[in-house]
Amino acid sequence: MITIRNAEEKDIPEILDIYNHSVLHTTSVYSYKPHTLEMRRKWFEEKKAAGHPVIIAEEDNRIAGFIAYGPFRSWPAYKYTVEHSVHIHPDFRRKGIASMLMKEMIEFAAKNDVHAIIAGIDSANFASTKLHLQFNFKEVAHFKEVGYKFNKWLDLIFMELVLETPANPKGE
């Protein structure tokens, strides 16, 4: 049975393993070097301090995947927009776990006055594109050859989900 819950500090090493697998073996992260445990701890602490979610899927006391979001851009007027990422452990792919995590994250975002959720997806990652389409994300941008990894140029697409929140946006 799969349990969806908020991540805790004790989960960071498994989250790190999943993330680093993505760095080393996929184009879902446009980075070359794995993160250290300290880097992932800092990332986790920053998410918690900002009130941003880190949600995990757990099965048989193993973390099957995680989803998190953070600021899309640092300027104040973007405060209702977030960018998210979802990563699934290779042993748990194609079990619907990413969908479970997406549902939970979208509900969290709506309850926390997020208006737009952005996903940056490698254009060849058809599984991720399909997942996002299932949740009504729309492709809003396609950037040609903006990344280079595994000896090839990579295209990046942005997909967006617009929520009916917040009820009373505040400008500064």
Residue 152 belongs to a domain with what CATH number? 3.40.630.30
From 87, 107, 96, 68, select the one nearest 1 (Cα to Cα): 96
Residue 38 pLDDT greater than 90, yes or no: yes
- Please compute Rg for the chain using Cα positions: 16
pTM: 0.94
Task: Please report, for the chain, how many H helices and E strands are present, in that order.
Answer: 4, 7
Residue 29, strand partner residues: none
Written as six digits, the tokens of 2 are 């799969």
Q: Look up the domain containing 140 and give its range.
A: 2-162
For the chain, how many structural domains are there in total?
1
What is the distance between the alpha carbons of residues 14 and 66, in angstroms, rounded to a whole number? Answer: 10
Tell me the pLDDT tens digit for each residue of 85-119.
Answer: 999 999 999 999 999 999 999 999 999 999 999 99
In the Cβ-directed half-sphere of 57, how many Cα atoms lie within 13 Å? 25
Residue 53 lies in a domain: yes
Residue tagged 């776990």 (tokens): 97
Instruction: Determine how many CB atoms are found less than 10 A away from the CB of residue 73.
Output: 11
Residue 170 lies in a domain: no
Residue 169 lies in a domain: no
Residue 172 pLDDT greater than 70, yes or no: no
